[in-house]
């Protein structure tokens, strides 16, 4: 269990999923609460650049939201637009997340991992992790993300960056 509780949002990006068949979103929601964090919102949004930016921008602007977990929209179909929609919002990118995800994923699915555009970044002291839409990919990503959201993980984690926001004037 996390020693410092973070407020986390789960966003599923899909044109076909709904509450009844969103196994990836459901997995992430359960993983967040099982880790001792607070799930503050979950949402399913169509794969549309402007809808994605609008929702994530709202959460970035909300000082009470510490992390956003995004599943879906990271592939190469015409509708996959999560990297294009959200990458422009980042103050800093977390290159290591996508690199590590693809390295681990290679052991699971082989060269098909080259089609994963998993990525992460920081925006207004909020960390945003974007992963593929399959439940298996979400499990792989969570194994990377969970320790980074644990304030006790050493030698470093993201919690200090997320909880130590400068005062706004």
Q: Kindly provide the residue ranges of all beta strands, DSSP E only, lying in the chain, ordered along the sequence.
A: 7-13, 38-45, 67-71, 92-93, 119-123, 126-131
Beta bridge partners of 82: none
CA-based nearest residue to 127, from 48, 49, 37 = 37
pLDDT of the residue at 118: 96
Is the entire prediction scored with pTM above 0.85? yes
Pick the CATH number of 7-163 from 3.30.70.20, 3.40.50.150, 3.40.980.10, 1.20.1250.20: 3.40.980.10
Domain spans of the chain, in order of start: 7-163
Tokens 């459901």 sit on residue: 26
What is the sign of the dihedral through the CA atoms of 147, 123, 5 and 137?
Answer: negative
pLDDT tens for each residue of 151-160:
999 999 999 9
pLDDT tens for each residue of 129-167:
999 999 999 999 999 999 999 999 999 999 998 998 776
């Amino acid at each position: 269990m996390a020693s410092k509780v973070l407020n986390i949002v789960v966003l599923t990006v899909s044109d076909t999923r709904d509450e009844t068949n969103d196994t990836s979103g459901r997995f992430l929601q359960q993983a967040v609460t099982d880790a001792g964090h607070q799930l503050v919102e979950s949402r399913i949004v169509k794969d549309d650049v402007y809808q994605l930016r609008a929702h994530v921008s709202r959460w970035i602007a909300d000082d009470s939201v510490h992390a956003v977990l995004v599943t879906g929209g990271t592939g190469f179909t015409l509708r996959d637009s999560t990297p294009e929609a959200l990458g422009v919002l980042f103050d800093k990118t977390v290159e290591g997340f996508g690199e590590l995800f693809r390295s681990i994923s290679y052991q699971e699915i082989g060269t098909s991992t080259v089609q994963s555009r998993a990525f992460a970044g920081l925006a207004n002291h909020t960390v945003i992790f974007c992963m593929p839409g399959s439940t298996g990919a979400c499990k792989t990503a969570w194994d990377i993300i969970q320790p980074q959201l644990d304030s006790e993980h050493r030698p470093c984690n993201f919690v200090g960056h997320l909880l130590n926001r400068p005062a706004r004037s």
